[in-house]
Structure 1
């Protein structure tokens, strides 16, 4: 069973890295340039691999646990965007992050 949770964690982490790479590739002047930027291509590939990991995780983890757990990616992206890109972390964003974490804990404990 641990392998399925590791697949879920890998899917979440790959999705986070994919999102950050899409942000890094967003500097093109046109949408086509942005889409063809190496960071964007790699980011999309990582999204695909993340989806495969998620599908593997769903073989044994209830979707009512797995899908809410994916919301941890919002937390990681917000924190890494603050650190890597200097994006704002307002008190309301921090409160939202805390609520997401509490929600995931509650959902996974009652499953």
Structure 2
């Protein structure tokens, strides 16, 4: 138990544990990993925030990235292996998606012939 946990009320501790269990459940499924990665992509984590003279656009991107960093921090709080594992496994999931798409196109080409 961390020092922070010692200062939580029992209801707050229970809520934190329930949320951690929910993250573990979501993370245990390939579809859950796909959704988590999609959420991080929507938070502009993997894009440059600076938009030149468009200061409001830069601020908007920084706000999105802040939300993404909170999600990564929560993943790290639950299990420090989650985010690195997500990055490795999403690469595998995307490779499988590309292979399926290629095979589907090949089958469509065979039908047209």
Quickly name the TM-score band, shorter chain normalised: 0.3 to 0.5
TM-score (norm 2): 0.38
TM-score (norm 1): 0.39
